[in-house]
Structure 1
């Protein structure tokens, strides 16, 4: 039993950037499925397998990506779970030949129970005729080796990039936050008042959380109306997020996408010009919302998008910035061709 006046350190709320889950004592979990699928797509699609003595092949798409991934934090220890069944489509040509071969590469056992070197990777080919078996053998050997390394990069990124900020600093470790050109860090006092910049549901302990403002500017080769529709029309949102979405694009309407990892409500909608949302990540402290303001400006050869997001938890700032880039901007360009020149 703790001495009088000392208290149990597991329950002491420190004056630190994030007063939730003090000393990382409680079990927390982050769903890494959507992040994993996007990460593997960026690592694998477009991957080139080049053998000077045989030919050249390229992974064209991920035909199947079934499974799940999550990361748990308990007493400042990270526990990883991932299990994937992958099927990749490829195309290639032998040296000196104009015949294009097509096939698949499959790995059914990418999981936390297997090392990179233990992955079973098989190759198959849809083509027949001269050279087909040679191309298949190249993918079975050299192709498999290169794909194993890329999947190893995914595992490394899951354990470092995705988990950034999961183990929270204690009061002694937190220190002061550094400002940069795109982030302004502030501290906001929380209670049950509805006038706070950041809302915290049922939080009446006077806790403090460090927050930051995120700004970004992007250019898209499309009209302002097309870009506005891409983030407000349910079918278009589902297209670039590759999954079901719940979205009601009206004032007070709710939205939820990427498996519920992003959710919020619409506050202001001016078609082709301005969009304001209350926006949060599932991993943020319960009830905490940021305000996202997106402005669209039609220019002669593109549409400029300006984003301002206030009250982002400081520990989640970089992850949030990367998320906008990966799951919104890059995905929209890839899905709708917004990176191509306007006619």
Structure 2
């Protein structure tokens, strides 16, 4: 038995000078909370949201609250971020008349109550408040929601991406990447890479660029019934103002085949492939959190078995099982989004319940 403070060196995993993690025994964890606080403070505090457009002036002030946890685990070379944060940001606004005279000033907060790695592929909830509730103050609040909310979400997405890349551990990971040694004498050694060898190199490079195999994708199917005409439901899904109404998020939707759309504050983008009013919508969908180059296909068919009753059938194909951060909840979250954030919201807002 080894003495206290000693151990059999055969069972001790040490850092090697070349940074190599032998047999991948290490599970390295880095606390990222203070780094994250600094990251959010730099991107969110003291930023101009409106600088006079519509005679409105809005600025963020400072982080009033930053609680929770944030860390990055590295196991077998894979980065696994974990976090649950609650963030509160203060802001101030002022409305002026055409002569530059101040009409009203107000202050408020922006709360992001739950930023979690479990929902990395979804934008978090954002709550905007104001100190007073007069008509001008409400106008300032609405302006912040329109301009400030997308700005805040963009910064949150930047942080999520940075965490997925390793956060503050990124530089350490890169510094420990072993440098491959070459043999031979520089250019002279490189010269023989020709003929069959060059073909092999080219072939390997092509292999690396192959898309993710289809076995990593799923199909979502769903059928929902609404108390409305099929053309009404079709119009709601294709009209950006109605979409903004029932999702409470920004949207840009083209009604033309080949036209592009952006919904849920830009979290989902795509293109219209086929449109038949009151009958069919076929679109290419892509979530911003998905791996690069991945597009899914959404097919919505509308059937009106009797006047005033519409059955919509959804088939959402090529949904990846993992997002770019390695989270395996993409299919579940996408299905829940269709059900809770689209179909159920349409019933609640437009009174189409059965």
TM-score by length of 1: 0.45
Give the structure with the higher percent helix: 2
Larger Rg: 2
TM-score by length of 2: 0.43
